[in-house]
Structure 1
Amino acid sequence: MATTPPPSARRGLMRTKSVESSIQDSLEGESKLKRSLGVTDLTLMGIAVAVGAGIFSVGANAAANFAGPGVIISFVLAAVTCGLAIMCYAEFASTIPVAGSAYTFTYATMGEFLAWIIGWDLILETLTGAAVLAKYWGIYLSTVFEQFGVPLPDTIALGPVQLSWGPFLIVAVFTVLLVLGTQLSSRVGSVFTVIKVGIVLFVIVVGFFFVKASNYTPFIPESQPRTGEGATDAWTQSLFSFLSGAAPAQYGVFGLLAGASLVFFAFIGFDIVATSAEEVKDPQKTMPRGIFLGLGIVTLLYVLVAVVLTGMVSYRDLASSETPNLATAFELVGVDWAAKVIAVGALVGLTTVIMVLLLGLARIVFSMSRDGLLPRGLSKTSAKRGTPVRVQVLAGVVVALIAGLTDVGVLEEMINIGTLSAFVLVSIGVIVLRRTRSDLPRAFRVPLVPFLPILSAVLCIWLMLNLTTLTWARFAVWLVIGVVVYFAYGRRHSRVGREQAAERQEAPRS
């Protein structure tokens, strides 16, 4: 049986923070989070962050331009990939039930430097995700009012600056709720989640009345060269196409796989649920149950939407639309009023996604701050409410400024690459922790280790390779900035590093 490695067993960039140290830190008075969430809260949180406006658009885009009716399989493949990674998250969360998600897990297995990198990636995912979706929330708010005949501009002029006021509104509301308490914000988010799931189910039921079996043929259309945007531009090609020299293709098997890469965006966010592990009651049992139940419900909803979408109209008709979405399908069958329902559903859907991403961003920064890799003052929690007020307010201000004052559309794919890179390291980390700390109790264990974690990592890498070269270039720049910040600040202020330095000073005396 493996024994607990001493804190000084690994030094430098590979120094790890023991599981016991992480759990002990979560009990510190000034940095202690309140445990208040149950299985239902986690399930609804997973649905809240995964079922957004994308359920009404991402499947239509993938069907029209990549997979045809085979987009149903694309969703299943994306769900399997997400599910494999989530199993790894569930094992870690039941073993190390503290905030920080993949950052904390990597710190315990592969060392401080990789933990910093993955924490930096998660900041990228949650920051860009919250900003992009807050921006779209403002746009959808104006769309909803227009659908009901009330014009409402989504921007206002402040001198020479155009301000998107919607993002400021929604980010401010949820920042206040999250400061007041995680359970309160979870309850509010649950109400919105129930409403949007009801809208999705309504759309699915109505759509089934217009399904024609002939629209599912051919189920996987014959492959053909891609001729639209990204076919020849090196920056907009997938990295796989750029490196292999393969011509980008539509439809066929590779189109179906490319569709899986695209619709994977629909499952982004389940890793954020793991960041709340320190605020969960009985986390060893609650975390796995809540995560898997949420993933199962989300997968079922997405597959049903894909079945209805591709059965209502031919994928060729969707492809002829400039911006294919679920409303397009209803308009093509003459149900124009459905656009109003879908617009409201998209607005409500985005609302809860923003809330969970703001929560995740704050918890990641909170964990890195508690370890000294970011300023320790950010890890202070409210004695009364048990929430990290400082970092939550800071996260809200930064997200609101980015979403309200900049064009965030160019950052959309950055959300995917940040998440997938975290998935890869967590999948590998499960294998490492099984070997180094086999003595730790695990309420949930990934089956068929190391096969399933390796398969998870490989599938995630494949999806990453299907992102554009421009996304990879921006990702590289973000990583370079992160490395500079680590060596300029984090490495010198690391609590683990300082503890090891203190040990070295004490050693000669003893």
Structure 2
Amino acid sequence: MLRRKPVGDLIADGDHGQLKRSLGLGQLTMLSIGATLGSGIFVVLGEAVPVAGPAVILSFVLAGITALFSALSYAELAGMIPLSGSSYSYAYATLGELVAWVCGWCLVLEYGVSVASVAVGWGQYLNELLRAAFGFTIPDALSQPPGSGGIVNVPAIAVVLLAMVLLLSGAKESARANAIMVVVKIGTLVLFCAIAFTAVQAKNFTPFLPLGLAGLSAGGAKLFFSYIGFDAASTAGEEAKNPQRDLPRAILLSLAIVTVLYCLVAVAAIGALPWQRFGDQQAALSHVLTTILDNQFWVALLAVGAIVAISSVVLTVLYGQTRILFAMSRDGLVPAALSTVDARTGTPRTNTLVVSGFVAVLAAFVPLGKLADATSIGTLFAFALVNIAVLVLRRRRPEQPRTFRVPFAPVTPVIGVGCCALLMFSLDTATWIVFGGWMLLGLVIYFAYSMRRSRLAGPR
């Protein structure tokens, strides 16, 4: 349980891996923006506003600061250990196999479940587009999961399968499609701000903290979901042309761009519409435009942008999930079929098919809110481990080359751990119960299968 994989062995795995190195700095940055920008601002904003009020703007800042501390640690480790395994691989080198397994299991929750929850939101915006453009919507029975008034969420299944087809075509092709979608969704958010700022009223920002600091913190915990994905570039460590140089830059640059856009959109949305009127809208930005405008053209245009934006999130986060499982499979902790690579496209074909099928089923039958909260707690736990890994490697391997170093360490990583813990404890009891059940299932699988199948368990 405590056996560690030497850093040198991890780097060797990446240098002699089967994946093709085809991604530059721009594509890696777009990958992280694609995985991050969309899920929170288009979908979860409507759930956070009733919790925090106008202070949701500061909730975005709180969640962004929490993400920044972890992003700095990710940047150091990604440049030092450029592998597909992301924080799972970092934990394997520092904290031992059991902790690495727990971290990888949390990443399965983060990536796999967040794709499903975002796919649910995609269906909401598809209905907004159909209503604004054609005057009809897909019936709830076919566009909502059980528990939300429906039977099966067909649009969510469709967007996951579309992303699967793109991923199977190859990493370079997927990155090209993602870059186009990122440009479209940034333009969509800028357009929303331009329209909403024309209706901003100062009175909508008072009182600024109607639900107190507890509401601010709870909003930050919910909105942390919107920052999930900035670490996606670290899962492309074995497909980057110059990983030591480009991965740290891509992680920090993408987080900066996303944070600025989130805060601008939050100010515009709250200023244009009193926070009490947000309700529990899953298509919050469309709701704002529908309320302040008579012209449905702009609502339809926003819905198109949201559909493209969320498609990009599904594509890039699904990509990250397959690469995490690729690394775990190569280490023997999950079945070997998940690390077999297609000779023609250079992609883990079986892995992509299995993950896509699992996510499609989850998106079809589970409501968004529960998925988003469960994803946040798993991500926060994984991020805390990354901050700890920086501290451990600074002590054990101070001579190891680093292309980026976390400033003011060890203070910065310690603050990162504390911020993650603060937001974790802001989540409700039901989320902790789901997380505990997920961890228990992961430990059962580890002791029953992974511990004995690990590559480190056999003779060297």
Q: Which category of TM-score, normalised to the shorter sequence, fits these structures?
A: over 0.9
Match among 31, 46, 55 for residue 45 of structure 1: 31
The 3 A distance-change label for structure 1 pair 477 and 204 is: same
Contact 1:366 1:378 in 2 (8 A): yes
Task: Encode CA deviations 1:249-299: one digit per residue, 9 max, x unaligned.
Answer: xx2222222221122121111123311111111111101111111111111
For structure 2, list consecutive stretches of 5 or more residues without a partner in the other structure: 144-149
Cα distance in 2 for partners of 1:447, 1:53 equals 29
The 3 A distance-change label for structure 1 pair 199 and 78 is: same
CA shift for structure 1 position 309: 1.7
The 3 A distance-change label for structure 1 pair 333 and 409 is: closer
What secondary structure does 1:148 align onto?
Answer: helix
Cα distance in 2 for partners of 1:408, 1:332 equals 23
Match among 80, 93, 98 for residue 95 of structure 1: 80
Task: Encode CA deviations 1:362-405: one digit per residue, 9 max, x unaligned.
Answer: 11111000001111232111233221112112111222233235
CA shift for structure 1 position 195: 0.8
Contact 1:60 1:309 in 2 (8 A): no
Q: Which has the larger radius of gyration?
A: 1
**Equivalent position of 1:178 in the other structure:** 167
The 3 A distance-change label for structure 1 pair 305 and 408 is: closer
TM-score under structure 1 normalisation? 0.84
**What are the equivalent positions in structure 2 for 1:343-354 lying under 5 Å apart?**
343-354=303-314
**Equivalent position of 2:206 in the other structure:** 217
Match among 445, 451, 457 for residue 417 of structure 2: 457
Cα distance in 1 for partners of 2:47, 2:361 equals 30
Contact 1:45 1:273 in 2 (8 A): yes
AA of the residue aligned to 1:62 = A
Cα distance in 2 for partners of 1:256, 1:126 equals 26
- What percent identity do the matched residue pairs reach? 40
CA shift for structure 1 position 349: 1.7
2:18 paired with 1:32: yes
Contact 1:402 1:408 in 2 (8 A): no
Cα distance in 2 for partners of 1:463, 1:322 equals 21
**Equivalent position of 1:70 in the other structure:** 55
Cα distance in 2 for partners of 1:107, 1:42 equals 24
Q: Which runs of 4+ in 1 moved over 6 A?
A: none
Cα distance in 1 for partners of 2:207, 2:135 equals 42
The 3 A distance-change label for structure 1 pair 399 and 61 is: closer
Cα distance in 2 for partners of 1:252, 1:348 equals 36
The 3 A distance-change label for structure 1 pair 277 and 170 is: same
Match among 374, 395, 402 for residue 414 of structure 1: 374
Task: Encode CA deviations 1:446-487: one digit per residue, 9 max, x unaligned.
Answer: 011110000001001110111111111111111111111111
Cα distance in 2 for partners of 1:285, 1:395 equals 30
**What are the equivalent positions in structure 2 for 1:52-131 lying under 5 Å apart?**
52-63=38-49, 65-131=50-116
Q: How many residues align?
A: 451
CA shift for structure 1 position 152: 5.0
TM-score under structure 2 normalisation? 0.92
2:192 paired with 1:203: yes
Contact 1:43 1:291 in 2 (8 A): yes
The 3 A distance-change label for structure 1 pair 126 and 39 is: same
AA of the residue aligned to 2:119 = A
What is the RMSD computed on CA atoms of the aligned residues? 2.1
What secondary structure does 1:279 align onto?
Answer: coil
2:234 paired with 1:274: yes
The 3 A distance-change label for structure 1 pair 350 and 322 is: closer
Cα distance in 1 for partners of 2:361, 2:242 equals 37
What secondary structure does 1:209 align onto?
Answer: helix
Task: Encode CA deviations 1:115-161: one digit per residue, 9 max, x unaligned.
Answer: 0011011111111112222233234323322221253536659xxx9
Contact 2:36 2:226 in 1 (8 A): yes
2:366 paired with 1:401: no
Task: Encode CA deviations 1:102-122: one digit per residue, 9 max, x unaligned.
Answer: 100000000000000110111
2:120 paired with 1:135: yes
CA shift for structure 1 position 191: 0.9
Cα distance in 1 for partners of 2:159, 2:280 equals 29
**Equivalent position of 1:237 in the other structure:** none
Q: Greater shift after overlay, 54-63 or 361-370?
A: 54-63
Task: Encode CA deviations 1:413-453: one digit per residue, 9 max, x unaligned.
Answer: 11101110100000111000110111110000001111000
The 3 A distance-change label for structure 1 pair 328 and 421 is: same
The 3 A distance-change label for structure 1 pair 470 and 39 is: same
Match among 386, 397, 401 for residue 437 of structure 1: 397
Contact 1:144 1:344 in 2 (8 A): yes
The 3 A distance-change label for structure 1 pair 472 and 419 is: same
Q: Greater shift after overlay, 294-303 or 135-144?
A: 135-144
Cα distance in 1 for partners of 2:196, 2:425 equals 35
